[in-house]
Every structure is written in C-alpha cells, then in structure tokens.
Chain A
Amino acid sequence: MSQAVPAGQKLWSGGKSPYNVEYGKLMMWFFLMSDAFTFGAFLISYGSIRFASNSWPDPNHVFRNFPLIGEMNIPLAFVSLMTFILIMSSVTMVLAVTCGHNNDRKGVIKWMIWTIIGGLAFLSCQAWEWTNLHSEGAWWGSIATEAGSHFLNANGSTPTTNFSNFFFTITGFHGFHVFSGVIINIIMLIKAWRGDFDKRGHYLMIEKAGLYWHFVDLVWVFVFTCFYLL
C-alpha cells in the first residue's frame, strides 16, 4: 500500500527524501515516536509497580460515578463517554485534513471547530473526574484508606498512594497533551480562516497538527486500558 515509486528509482541515492514525505511531516513523526516512548515508559513503570504489588484498587469501584446523577453505581460508563468523545474528535480531525487535501477552506474550518469542541469536552470530563476522585480522598500523596473507602485494594487490604500518584500523573500528562493539542488546533483554525493556507497553496500544516491530535487519541486508548480495564 506504499506510494508507487517509478521502477528503478533508488530511494537512498540522495537528492530526495527516502521516505517520500516532506521534512516537517517526517520530523513530526519522529517527535511523536519520542513522545510515545515517554508515555510508554510511564505506563511500563506503572505496570512494574502493579506487578510488584500483591493487590491494587479495583477500577470497577473507583470509577463508578457519572456527572449529575448522584450516587449511582455504573462502572466505567463515564470513561466510555470520554473515549467516545476523543475518538469522534479524531474522526472530525481526519475530515478536516481531507478537506485540506481538497483545498476546501470552509470544510477545514467547520471540521476544525468540531475537533476543538471535542477536545474541550474531553478536558472538561477529565476535570470532573479529577474533582470527583479528589473529593473522595485521592490526590498525589493521599488516598482514602479507611473501611468503606472505594479505593481499597481488590483483596480488601490498605491501598498505597501508588494508585493515586500514577493515576493523576499519567492522566495529567495526557491531559496536558490534549490541552496543547487544542491550542495548536485553535491556531490552525485561525490560520485557515485567515486564508494563510490558501496563500501557501497547501494545507500540509493541518495534516501535521492532525498527526499530533491522533497521537493524543492513541495514547488515551492505552491509558484507558491500563487504568480502567486491566
């Protein structure tokens, strides 16, 4: 499925990119690789600590709340909504990139607006999640350990602050990426609206911003699995 290269053309003979992409796009991919290793290292350290522990808080008990409905018990419903929102915003981003390929300025503006709304919605959900957990006694360096706490380990024993430290650090680092992605998308929207890309002749910058946004979604898929499912 790679792009067709004329027969006999040697990719590594110099004069053109052996990857057949422009410089900025290649650099974005390499940056995303480095960022993937950073997140990967965080998640692997989380995994190491969990493997080193006899028991761990049960996600079905920790993540059972949903905004506006009080003390109902629906495990994982809220995080499912957050995952759906982020995946949808990835879809709208791809649609924006596609419109960019067709030099459709109005389409790019429309889909970028939806992507930004999706990103802001996700951040709001994450803020609610953090506030909710904090009100129940979890934060960096603290976790509710008394009988009846929803943070008790699955085998009933006293939880350590490992859980809350890792949760807030990793979801915080991810949320920071979502936030910076929203800022970048807003800048892309303004540039598209002003006609900067029409003047330039191509919408490649939207594509690069799109790569960053998809990366943010990709990381969430792993974070969601590690903290809420496993």
Chain B
Amino acid sequence: MPSISAAASAPGVPAPRAAALPWYVPAVLVAATCAVVGVIWDISWHRTIGRDTFWTPAHLAIYASGIIAGLSCGWLVLKTTFAGSDAERAAGVRFWGFRGPLGAWLCIWGAMAMIVSAPFDNWWHNAYGLDVKVLSLPHLILALGFTGIQLGAVLMVAALQNRAGGEARYGRLLAYGIGILVLNVAILGFEQIGFSQNAHNALYYLVCAAIFPILLVAGARASSLRWPATTAAVVYVGVTLIMVWVLPLFPATPKLAPVYRPLTHMVPPPFPLLLIVPAVAVDLVMRRFGTGRDWRLSALVGVSFLAVLLVTQWFATIYLISPASESFLFGAQRWNYNSLPGDFEHQFWDIRSDPVTPLKLGFAALLAMTSSRVGLWLGNGLARVQR
C-alpha cells in the first residue's frame, strides 16, 4: 500500500474557495445527525412511553434524515447533470447517465432504502406483531439506509477536503461525520455495550474492539486534523451527553402495561463510553508511527486502543453503576417503565457467565487489530477519494 497524504491535493484542479462551504455539506451532515438523534430519541420513547405510532417525533427525526439527504442529493445530481459547470460535472462520477459526487449517490441510495423500509416495517408489524426486538429485517434496512447517508456524507466531505488540499474545516467536518458513525455503531451495539453494567464482562470488550477502531482509525488516517480520532470521540460523547441531559427535561408517562416504575419524564440514554481516552491513544500512536507499515501500525493501534479502553471503562463504570451516579449529570430515572426494580441496577452483569479472562482479552486484541487494519484500508481510500 503506497503511503497516502490526506492533504494531497489533485494537481491542476481548482479547490473550492475557502469561504464557500458547498450548501449540500451542512444538509447531509444534518441528515446524518438527524438519524442518530432520532434513534436515541426513539429508544428513549420505547423505554418511557412504550407505545408509538409512525408519527412520533422520534420517527419523524429518523425519516427526516432520509428526506433531507434524498432531496438535497437528488437536487445536487440533477443540477450537476443538467445545469452544472464543467468543473462540477468533472467532480462527479457517472451513474446511469447522471453525474454527481460519489457520496451523493450513496445518500440517495440510503434515502431510498429508508423509504422502502417504512411500508415493509408496517407490514412486518401486522404480520409478526409490534416491535419486541430492536433488530428486525425492516429495521436493518432502515439502519442500512441511514448508515449509507452517513457514509455518503463522510465521502462528500472527504472528497472536498482532498481537493482543497486538506483544508482544516473539512478535516473537522470529516471527523464530525466519523463521530456520527461512531455513535451509530454504538447505538447498534446498545444491548451489548450500552449499559455500564456490562463493562466487566468479556462480550463488552469484544464488541468495542470490533466496532470502534475501524472508524476511529479510518478517520485518523483520512482527516487532515491533528487529533481526528479524538475529535470524532468528542462528537460521539458530546451528542450522547446532550441527549442524556435534554431528554429528561421532557415530561412523559408510560402508556403500556406492566408499569413497574412510575416515570414522569423521558428516560435518558445510558452515559456514553469514555471513548475520548482511547481515541487520544489512537491519535498518538497514529501520529508517532505515521504512514507506511500499516500492518504493524494496526497491531499497535489495536492493542493500544483496547488497553486504554479497558482501564478507562473498567474503573469509570464502577462509579457509573453506583447509586451516587444517579443524578442529572450522569442520568437519573434511567430504567425502563417495565423493568422490575432490583439489585441488578447496581451490579455488573454476566461477570460469572462471561468473565474477562486473558484468553478473551487476547481475542479482543486480535479483533481490535483486525478492525484497525480494515480502518486503515478505509482511511487510505477516504484520503484518496476526489469526487
């Protein structure tokens, strides 16, 4: 793999003017954000109120992601194809006779997937009952849709950054997009890594090792920032904390039996993982060892990430599961209306059936290395994308 500079600018190609942020960039980043905010809101809705319809604000926020991305990128490719300048047309890829940025096509694809998931999901409910599982086939198609939009947004920003010679604001936006993707996978792993009570079992670290390095490392390789992985982790922690603090401000009561907890306000999401600390390690290792010898780098990054994450989460969660943490800052009134109160609230879960052992940690390290290696491949690709 040749070494790639994220800041490499294509020779002879005019970079976008520094003052003019293309209009579609905020649109797709807002779309990417809408989806994760909507999903966190929706999970809170199900944990607080229980019943829902298609028209809940949380669902609307999710689908707004598809609408914003679909309309803005649809307009972008139509304009580029039929009324774009030569430079704009040259900065796109061909798709069935149309032209547009690669990321825009991914956004349109994601929007289509989201739209088709809605009637499918409705039929699914009628056929197999209302949602009792987060992971169903229509929900997976919906998740693929908004994940496609988030990837599309990252691709569009990466292309702009690369064409603009690594301009810092694109680097920041790229890291922001990566942070949204980190939040996205953290939500998908909600059942395994969402609750601090899981932080002393092995599955927690296996899942973290698999899903986080790939994104943090890709971002660190592709973004022109000095602390890209850390910035992405800050976005993940920041958006989650905003939801932790804002959702409980809204009054809500359970509307489904059995009601074991008389909730009065929306349940916040669990406190985020302190991913900033291992992300700093990722940035430091990436910066120290630079480009080239990516296999060695992925091993170093993977092990560093896991080691720092283990120490950070192992000790931080001791406080986070204690009664002392039940406050506005860390999330009070944090359990579902239909979860029977019990001592599980202040215990680590599955520590006997799935303890953290050297063997499992070794396996987690392998996963982290593999994830980092794939992240480097993706990051190299992102650093090269021009259109």
Do A and B originate from a single complex?
Answer: no
Residues of A within 8 A of B (CB): none
Q: B residues engaging A (CB < 8 A)?
A: none
